[in-house]
Copies of this chain bind each other. A is one copy, B any other.
Amino acid sequence: PGKKVLIVYAHQEPKSFNGSLLKIAVEELTKQGCSVTVSDLYAMQFEPRATRNDIVGHLHNPEAFNYGVETWEAYKRGGLSKDLVEEQKKVQEADLLIFQFPLFWFSMPAILKGWMDRVLVQGFAYDLSKAYDGGLLQDKLSLFSFTTGGGQEMYSNEGIGGDIRYVLWPMQHGIMHFCGVKVLNPHICYAPERVSEEKRKEMLTAWTQRLKTLWKEEPIDCSPEWYFK
């Protein structure tokens, strides 16, 4: 109760299974007394491209554009574009970040990757010597909640898709852990488009149930062992 949650949501269709998962999270967390904010990336027509437009006013080095350097400098002087400042404010205030999306090509949809690329700039999310356990977004939790196209048997050590944890490494470790954010167990709904209506309902109920005790969960040990045994 009183906790702040930011849900970054990347699906085009409110009636989709991802849309239902979002709705459940908003309802259940609100019911708990949390304050919930949603960044609905497609509805916002969120810009995924990292370009010069992200810097308001002059460039640090107009001779050769370096996105990392320019956004870092712009962050320090308060010169990032408005859409980024707004997202950073939401992140700053949040105790928990939930990412809700369909797995696209073993990763996030580009629109969500663009949110990571553009919002989590140096100075805000990490700094030269402040990364991983020293990252700037400590005391926050994150949770990757996603659907897959392939079934669970595909994403196993025996399956051709390999252990599902392999695809979590860049997202959970490479991004969240890098910024100092702790990582809760992912929430994965396998192939909702290929199962029965009954099974889909079970999956939705399981999400509601998990959210009820979410704040009691311990973060995972986000080290190579968790991902690759």
Question: Which A residues lie at the B interface, using CB under 8 A?
Answer: 12-13, 15-16, 42, 45-46, 48-52, 63-68, 104-111, 113-114, 116-118, 120, 132, 149, 157, 160-162, 166-167, 169-171, 173-175, 178, 193, 224, 227-228
Cβ contact within 8 Å between A116 and B105: yes
Cβ contact within 8 Å between B167 and A107: no
Cβ contact within 8 Å between A64 and B228: no
Copies held by the complex: 2
Complex CA distance for A12 and B52, rounded to whole angstroms: 8
Residue among A107, A169, A227 with most chain B CB within 10 A: A107
Complex CA distance for A7 and B73, rounded to whole angstroms: 31
Q: How far is the CB of A11 from chain B (nearest CB, A)?
A: 9
Cβ contact within 8 Å between B162 and A67: no
Q: Which residues from B are CB-within-8-Å of A157?
A: 224
Q: Which residues from B are CB-within-8-Å of A224?
A: 157, 162, 166
Write the chain B residue with the least CB distance to A51.
B12
What are some 21 contacts across the A-B interface (CB < 8 A)?
Answer: A12-B50, A15-B64, A42-B51, A45-B49, A50-B104, A50-B111, A66-B193, A104-B117, A105-B117, A105-B178, A109-B113, A109-B117, A110-B114, A110-B117, A114-B114, A162-B224, A166-B166, A166-B169, A166-B170, A166-B227, A170-B170
Cβ contact within 8 Å between A49 and B110: yes
Q: Which residues from B are CB-within-8-Å of A193?
A: 66
Q: How far is the CB of A84 from chain B (nearest CB, A)?
A: 13
Cβ contact within 8 Å between A105 and B175: yes
Complex CA distance for A65 and B108, rounded to whole angstroms: 18
